[in-house]
Structure 1
Amino acid sequence: MRPDGRPDDGPPAQRSGAGGDPAARVHILLVEDDDAIRRSVGMTLERYGYRVSAAPDGLTGLEKFREARHDLLLLDIMLPHLDGIGLCRKVRETSQAPVLMMSARGDSLDVVAGLEAGADDYVVKPIDTTVLLARIRTLLRRATFTAAEPDMPPTDDTGLLAFRDLTVDTRGLEVRRDGRLLALTPTELRLLLEFVAAPGIALQRGVLLRKVWDYGWDGDSRVVDLAVQRLRKKIGADHIETVRGFGYRFRR
């Protein structure tokens, strides 16, 4: 599906007749009230090998989310009965699954509200297939990344890094504050690992976008700012300093 609404040529693997696409194991929940968009996006994802469950409103989407395990949620912001922001908050009460929001206006305050509610990223309508698939693949990779990916500072044999009340297990990928295990989303965990890999060093927003969100360009810095805001609430605001006009720095 191209931005002008015309279908694309389908995935290369499908055109070449290749099988065994690992995407077939991925279950995506698509919640969109526009019938045409829901069918079009759903068919596109299925052509690329994803398993898709679809819902036309927020309450139905919440029921489907609670009935089965989903690897990623693709939510429209403007939904009847329960909007995408409210649905994202409900999801975050019990799950850290990646959430990708869809917005008709990229500069909308609704995008900010969605990211504040716990969404990992967003795409703008009309949906560009290339962008949508790239964002989905990035979120799925982030949800399954290993501790070996970031350049971590030296640790002892346990792989533990300690910062006052915060302990980061770089091998077991667990974070504890005052001994209490924290529930971080894959995005928040990856962001924290980037910070603890470079304590005391100021990191530009653009660098974080490329390393955490896998953007090949400097995208919307609000994504970084709101993810940092959510991370601060969980690990303690004093661990991450704002470097005005530049980015952020993790305190040693």
Structure 2
Amino acid sequence: MFYEPLGDDRYQSTVHTTGPWSSHTQHLGPPSALLVRAMERLPSAVPMTIARVTVEILGPVPVAELSVTAAVDRPGRSVELLSAELSADGRVAVRARAWRIVRSDTSAVASTIDEPLAPPSEGRVMTRPEGWHPGYLDVMEWRSLAGSLGEPGPATVWARQRVPLVGDEEPSGLQRVLTVADSGNGVSSLLDPRKWLFINSELTVHLYREPVGEWIALDAGTAIGPDGFGTAVSVLHDRSGAVGRGAQALLIRPQ
């Protein structure tokens, strides 16, 4: 598991949350999914679905005990604005906001603008590059259709989390998406991480249908401007096709 529940909205982070750059801080995938889980559990008067999530990264998330709170900021009959905070050692490390939209039947007019991907079985096994820390990368199963971790340039990769998010719970489709979506800038980086920083300060995910199944794909690319910042953009897929898009604002500078 990524997190052991302690009760009272507290969670003990496990070593599986560890990010690739430090043994003391987390990859932002699991914390993002934990915030989504808290917002998904907020009650609503009618069936609703989260259609957009923005995760604001205020600082490193330690591999330690965390607390999570969530609230409905703007209730409504058709749309609601939700928020959540993740704290460690008395400091808010990550905030999230989400728009939740009432469910209705639009199957007769459903459409997509993205072509489906080849299945994970056609991808090559992707492993953690030498020098990157164990943890999150090792408990995700990675299959690359194009590009890879540690290879500069765009990448198309499938990922499947091999441990639950919290305890022995089955993660929701949206939780699985957020566990993976923060990896978009990592798999599509254009730069050598030994020489450059390319840190995302946020992650925004827009969905146009609910994700299903264990496998989530990132069809990702990064653009870098001349003034120290850039954007990583990912088309997000499940086995049935595209489900939405993720984007990350990047700080770019030499190490």
Give me the TM-score of the superposition, normalised by structure 2. 0.29
| Larger relative contact order (CA 8 Å, sep ≥ 6) | 2
Indicate the structure with greater strand content: 2
**Rg bigger for which structure?**
1
